[in-house]
A and B are shown apart, each in its own frame.
Chain A
Amino acid sequence: MNLAIMKTKAEQALVESFQTVAGSLPGGSDVQRVRREAAERFEVLGLPHRRIEEWKYTDLRQILKDVLPPRVNDATELTIPDVIVALGPLGSLDAHRIVFVNGAYRAKLSTPGSLDGLEFSPLATQLADGESHTVKLTRTTGPADEDATLALNTAFMSDGAVLSIRPGAELSKPVVVVHVRAGREPHAATMRHVIEVGAGARATIVEAFVSLPGVVDEGQINTASEVVVHEQSRVTHVKCAVDQGDVAHLSNWIVRIGREADYRGFQQTQGLALARNQIFVAFDGEDAKLDLSGAVLGRGTNHIDTTLFVDHTHPGCESRELFKYILDDNARGIFQGKIMVKRAAQQTDGKQMAQALMLSPDTEFDSKPELEIFADDVACGHGSTVAEIDEDLLFYCASRGIPEAQARALLTEAFIAEAIEMVRDEPVAQALTDWARSWLNAA
């Protein structure tokens, strides 16, 4: 096989821009080596394209034509009210708030609240201090390792939240880690979060990717979260990406779940021109519970992809996936859910469902569930549905006096609500519902 395929303009630009900015990215020699290795890995891998099975429906080499300059040490002026506006319905949430603007931490806009069993420090500081623990965590292994988007993240990561929740701690309010896109210069931002939840702790962590009104149309975000959930902890982890314009959002979650831990992940993606949301989950112990769900709202030519890889290696674990897509105009939704059940993972209980509601005849939904089971005593199932709004239900609503447009909105919201319901934190779920509603009403 000839590895020396011709590089695309974007691939070439990424390699060159790494050489340009590498010296100004945070971290000592250890970190610089990790970055360089990642950049070299990317040079070999290139941008993923349709001939790689996992990227069949999202041909980044084709889609990503131009690379924006990476932003380092951004200093765009923002106020707390700006952040609250950008956060939309999440702005009024009572939460510990950790704010990043264009890829850089802003202490003045943040209220991390260390009293609550929560420890926070910005990744840039940790990398500069050579915190060996953090450096180790940013060097992933496993199926995500060969991923080009993650390699780019490791090479370019400029900042992020390093969060640690002390064992047994119970956070009194959610932690909201906000990334705000702001300013008039198109740029690329690369965020890396490292989240560790101690044994028996309880926490809700929300990552929000939002933009300030009037922000430049084009933007590129590459974000990765490494999450380690220790035994018997109970975690709700949410990512909400809401933007408009020509924004590309590449995201990776790499999650490890400890024995008897209960981890719920939820992702809401709305209005992004391009999103690739990858979630890699592995189990570190027996009898753990995983619940992944998501709400995708796309219109125009939005292209929104969710790709999961869940690796069952221990007995008695449970995994649930429910992803709902609302697609309008020419939007395209992709769901790929791969569940691997290794031989040792007896009594695995896995159920997966992906559903799309198509509001226009020109949308496309590609759904690919994959189950690979090597254990013999398991209960696993998957399903996928694609539908339009049920005419019978519209008639039922209309016969009760509800006009068609309102009935459509009601039924569409109900469809997505079933996914948002999986978020255990009620105020967070309400904010996500409000956000989805504002998208629906903007039709």
Chain B
Amino acid sequence: MLEIKNLHAKIVEEDKPILKGVNLTVPTGEVHAIMGPNGSGKSTLAYVLAGRSDYEVTEGDILWNGKSILEMTPDERAAEGVFLAFQYPMEIPGVAGLTFLRTALNSIRRKRGEAELTTPEFMKLVREKGSQLHIDIEMLKRPVNVGFSGGEKKRSEILQMALLEPTLCVLDETDSGLDIDALGVVSDGVNALRSPDRAMLVITHYQRLLNHIVPDRVHVLANGVIQRSGDKELALELERSGYAEYRAA
């Protein structure tokens, strides 16, 4: 279970608070959506969960399965099962996708006390997970995300997620930059990972994504706090009325 308690955060070296007391609980096995206007702190929340050092938590706590993750480095959090699918996946020139995936997977396995995968085991796993996302091995021989289209980058993020098998998935605007077809492929990939052992936090501007990845709960984040929570109907309501009433807050 993810428990975010009275979370306050800001950018390091800046005074302006961005998160001003977020309270949120996501039980394992559920998918929660976070919606909200631009600048409401959605991406900040995602980065703070993953442990990005540009952000400083000034108050509150984040518990994952009862354990505070605030003092953990990003790689330690990853080993604890935390995964952030980036809004803008990064390009890594010179590092082949397969090398990157294998390095990541084996790092996590080592930290979990599991044996590293052999090359045949790894390749079998990549082929299997990749085919579900329409990603072939040739694409993964190229440097990570370099020259990929928006859709390819997002599929590559979900492939990483499928391989690393995290237990807490944070998806930051995974629908941005996707056409209808790509949205379908990516959503299918995410839905395939829905499981009673996994919690997901899906961050999005638009209700559209939530037709594909149907959430158990929807929360509205605006002005650094959760303003309202409801079931999936809340997303439809927001689609009709917009965020106007929350901006004022």
Contact = CB atoms under 8 A, between A and B. Distances in A.
Interface of A: 391-393, 395-404, 406, 410-411, 413-415, 417-418
B94 A418 contact: yes
A399 to B, nearest CB: 5
B73 A400 contact: no
Nearest to B74: A398
Given A395-B52, A398-B78, A406 B95 contact: no
Nearest to B92: A393
A400 B76 CA distance: 10
Given A399-B74, A406-B103, A414-B94, 15 more contacts: A392-B90, A396-B86, A396-B89, A398-B51, A398-B73, A399-B75, A400-B78, A400-B104, A401-B75, A402-B103, A403-B75, A406-B107, A410-B95, A411-B95, A413-B94
Contacts of B50: 395, 399
Interface of B: 50-53, 73-75, 77-79, 83-84, 86, 89-90, 92-95, 99-100, 103-105, 107-108, 111, 143, 160, 164
Contacts of B51: 398-399
Contact of A401 (B89, B95, B108): B108
Interface centre among B75, B78, B103, B143 (most CB of A within 10 A): B75
A401 B90 contact: no
Nearest to B89: A396
Contacts of A411: 92, 94-95
**Which 8 residue pairs spanning A and B have beta carbons closest together?**
A414-B94, A401-B78, A398-B74, A401-B108, A400-B104, A401-B107, A414-B95, A396-B90
Contacts of A414: 92-95, 143
A397 B90 CA distance: 10
A398 B92 CA distance: 13
Contacts of A418: 93-94
Nearest to A412: B94
Given A401-B78, A401-B79, A404-B73, A396 B104 contact: no
Nearest to A400: B104
B62 to A, nearest CB: 15
Nearest to A409: B103
A396 B92 contact: yes
B164 A401 contact: yes
Contacts of A410: 95, 99-100, 103
Contact of B53 (A395, A406, A415): A395
A359 to B, nearest CB: 16
B238 to A, nearest CB: 29
A395 B103 contact: no
Contacts of A392: 90
A277 to B, nearest CB: 23
Contact of B75 (A402, A413, A417): A402
A145 B111 CA distance: 60
9 contacts: A391-B53, A395-B50, A395-B53, A397-B92, A402-B107, A411-B92, A411-B95, A413-B94, A414-B95
Contact of A415 (B94, B99, B111): B94
Nearest to B112: A401
Contact of A404 (B52, B75, B86, B94): B75
Contacts of B105: 401
A415 B143 CA distance: 12
Contacts of B99: 410
A402 B90 CA distance: 15
B76 to A, nearest CB: 9
Contacts of B164: 400-401
Contacts of B52: 395, 399
Nearest to B170: A399
A391 B53 CA distance: 9
A405 B23 CA distance: 34
Contacts of A406: 103, 107
Contacts of B89: 396
Given A404-B73, A406-B103, A406-B107, A399 B78 contact: yes
Interface centre among B52, B74, B103, B164 (most CB of A within 10 A): B74
Contacts of A399: 50-52, 74-75, 77-78, 83-84, 86
Interface centre among A392, A395, A400, A402 (most CB of B within 10 A): A400
Contacts of A415: 93-94
